[in-house]
Chain A
Amino acid sequence: MIRVVQHRHKCIGCNACVEADKYRWRISKKDGKSTLIGGVEKKGWFSVLVDNDEQAALEAAKQHCPVNIIRYEQLD
C-alpha cells in the first residue's frame, strides 16, 4: 500500500496532477484547487491509502506539481 498526502490549501489549481491520474485527482468546482479523491483531511493535510499500482501515476503527479504539495510513501 501507498499513503498519499496532499497539502491542499497551497494548491494553485494548475491541473497537472489531474493530467497524471484523473481517477485520483479532481479540480474542485468550489475553489478551483485539486482534490485528492478519497482523501481524509487532518489539519489541512489530506491523505489516503492506495494500491501499489498507482505508484507511477503518483510519481508523475508529484514531479509535475509546481508547488510541491504532493508526497507519498510506501507502507509495505
Chain B
Amino acid sequence: MPKIVKVNKMELMAPAGSYEALAAAVKAGANSVYFGVEQLNMRTKSTHNFTMEDLPEIARVCKENGLKSYLTLNTIVYDHDVSLMKRILDETKASGITAVIASDHAVMNYAKKIGVTVHISTQANITNIDTVEFYSAYADVMVMARELSLLQVEAINKEIARREVTGPSGKLVRTEVFGHGALCMAVSGKCYLSLHSHFSSANRGACVQNCRKPYVVMDKDEGTQFEIDNEYIMSAADLCTIDFLDKVIAAGVSVLKIEGRGRAADYVFTTTQCYREAIDAYYDGNFSSEKVADWKDRLSTVFNRGFWDGYYLGRKMGEWSDEPGSKATKRKVYIGKGMKYYENAGIGEFLIEAQNVKVGDELIITGPTTGVVELHLGSLRVDDEPAEGAKRGATITFPVNEKIRPSDKLYKLVPVE
C-alpha cells in the first residue's frame, strides 16, 4: 500500500480594501482576505477603509464563500489608541472574523486574552527561528520579513518542524510571505520619511509615498543640481513571485499574501486569479514556463511599477522603478453604470455616462456584490435595436453571463500609449 500523504495547499490571501475588492477576491479564488477598519491599520489614509460596522458583513461574505477573514490591526499603538484597539478586537471576536494580524504586543496580548486568533504582521520583522519561537506563545501564523531569502525562509520552516514550535492551537506554526505587489525601500516597512516631511507617519498607515517621487542631487559647494533620471532611486519595483512559485512552495511556505489594499477590484481580481491558477498548477503537476509567461502578461495589465523577484532569490540590493506611477499595459476608462439585469435572457442594461463604446471593446464591470466581470463585447443593442456602437447618454444592452446590478460600474479597457 502506498503511503497516503495529505497535501495542504498553500493558502492564497488577497487584499480587500473595499466590498468590490472583497467580491473580486472571492470570485478569483482566494482562500482568505485581509482588510482594515478605522485608523489602526497600515492603510489609514485609504479612502476605501471599512468601519467596525462592516465587520459582521465581511465575516458573512467570507463564511458563505468558504474564505478566512483577517483583520489588520498592525500600526504602532500608543496609550491613547488602546481603548479603540480593544473595541475593535471585541467587535472582531463578536463578528466571527477568523484572526487579527498584529505587530504591536498590546494587540497580541489583548487578542490572546479574549480568544481572538493572532497572526504576526510583517511589521514585526521576523527574521529568525528564535523570534518565531518567541511569538509562538501568541500566534499560529507569522509573516516573514520581506527581506529574507527563500533559503532563509526554508531554514526557518525546517526548524519549526524540528523543534516542534507550536502556536496556541497546538499545531506547528505556519509561515506566510508576501508574494506579489508593492515593496518599499524601508526594512519591513519601518519608514520615517513621511513623518519627517509631512508629520504623516507611515507606521500609523499614513505614508505619503515620498519614495515614489523623482529627486535631484545637489553639489552643496556650487549649488549645481543633477536630476536623477532613468530611475526613481527610492521607489522599489513591485514584487512578483509567480515565475518561481514552485520554489516558494518548496520552501515550506503555508500562506502567500498579495499586497494591495489600496488597489481597485480589477487589480485584486487579476492578481488573485493568476496566483490561484499558478498554485493549482503546481499541485496538479503542470506548472510550466508557458503558463508563467501568460500569467506575467496578465499581471502586467494591471497596476505595477515593473516587476522583480524581491530578495527571495538571494539578491542583496533592491531593484528600482523607472516610472513615477504604474507600468500597467492597460487602463480602464469609465463608461457608465449598471441599470438592470434580465435574468432569463442573460442581458445587462447600462447607461453610458462617458466615452463611447463599440462592438469589439474589452469591457470590465465592477461592483460591491458583483466583484469583477470581464467580457469581450460581441454585440450590443441601443434602444433594443442592434448597433455597432453607442455614445454618451444611450442606454445599451448586451449579453452578460452573470447578474449585474445598479451599483455596478462599466469600464472599457484600453491599451496604455
A residues sitting closer than 8 Å to B (CB atoms) are 11-16, 18, 27, 29-33, 63-67
Contact = CB atoms under 8 A, between A and B. Distances in A.
Interface in B1-49: 38-40, 44-45
Interface string B173-213: 00000000000000000000000001111001110100000
Contacts of B84: 13, 29-32
Contact of B45 (A12, A27, A29, A30): A12
Contact of B80 (A27, A64, A65, A66): A27
B206 A31 contact: no
A66 B83 contact: no
Contacts of A12: 39, 44-45, 204-206
B199 A32 contact: no
A69 B45 CA distance: 12
Contacts of B199: 14, 16, 63-66
Contacts of B39: 11-13, 32-33
A66 B202 CA distance: 11
15 contacts: A12-B205, A13-B39, A13-B81, A14-B204, A15-B80, A27-B80, A27-B81, A29-B84, A31-B84, A32-B80, A32-B83, A32-B84, A64-B199, A66-B200, A67-B200
B226 interface: no
Contacts of A27: 80-81
B78 A31 contact: no
A32 B204 contact: no
B39 to A, nearest CB: 4
A65 B351 CA distance: 41
Contacts of A32: 38-40, 80-81, 83-85
A72 B261 CA distance: 34
What DSSP secondary structure best describes chain B's contact surface?
A: loop
Contacts of A67: 45, 200, 206
A63 B200 CA distance: 11
A65 B45 CA distance: 13
B167 to A, nearest CB: 29
A66 B198 contact: yes
B206 A14 contact: yes
A15 B84 CA distance: 14
A31 B84 CA distance: 6
Given A32-B40, A63-B199, A64-B199, A15 B206 contact: no
B222 to A, nearest CB: 33
Interface in B259-280: none
B42 to A, nearest CB: 12
Contacts of A14: 199, 201, 204, 206
Nearest to A63: B199
A13 B80 contact: yes
B101 to A, nearest CB: 18
A27 to B, nearest CB: 4
Contacts of B45: 12, 67
B76 to A, nearest CB: 10
A64 B44 CA distance: 17
Contacts of B78: 15
Nearest to A10: B45
B403 to A, nearest CB: 33
A31 to B, nearest CB: 6
A16 to B, nearest CB: 6
